[in-house]
Copies of this chain bind each other. A is one copy, B any other.
Amino acid sequence: MQEILDFFSENDHFARHCGIVLLEVKPAWAKAKMEIQPHHMNGAKTVHGGAIFTLADFTFAAAANSQGQLALAINTSISFFKPTHGNTTLYAEAEELAVNRRLGYYQVKITDNKQQLVAQFQGTAYRKEKSLLQEP
C-alpha cells in the first residue's frame, strides 16, 4: 500500500496543485484531505465545486487503483449538500461498493472539520489489464 500512496503523492500533479494530501490507502479504500485556502474559493465566496470534486476524484482513484491494476474513471457524479465557507479542512473517504473483472464502483463521502457531510460522490472505473506501476 505504501507504494501506491507514494505513487499518487508524487505523480498526481493536479492534486498537488490543489493542495490535496493522500493520508492512507488500504485495499479498496482511501482517505485524503484538502486544507481550504483562498485559491479554493469561487465567486460566491464558498469552496469551488471543482476543488471538492478534485479531492473526491483523487481519493476515488487511489481506492480504485489500490490493488495495483490500472483503473480509469468513466463516469462520476457528485451532490453538494451545503456550501463550505472556508477556514476548514475537507476530508474525503472512498470505499468500494462493488467490483468485477472490468469495472469497479466507488462511493466517496466528503466531510468538513466538524464531521458534517458536505458532499457525496460516486465513481465508476474501468480496470485495464496492465499494472498502475508498470512502465507504459
Contact = CB atoms under 8 A, between A and B. Distances in A.
B72 A83 contact: yes
Contact of A124 (B75, B117, B132): B75
Contacts of A72: 44, 80, 83
Range of interface residues on A (Cβ < 8 Å): 35 or more
B70 A42 contact: no
A12 B42 contact: yes
Interface of A: 7-8, 11-18, 38-45, 47-51, 53-55, 57-58, 61, 70, 72-83, 97-98, 100, 102-103, 105, 107, 117, 120, 122, 124, 126, 132, 136
Nearest to A8: B43
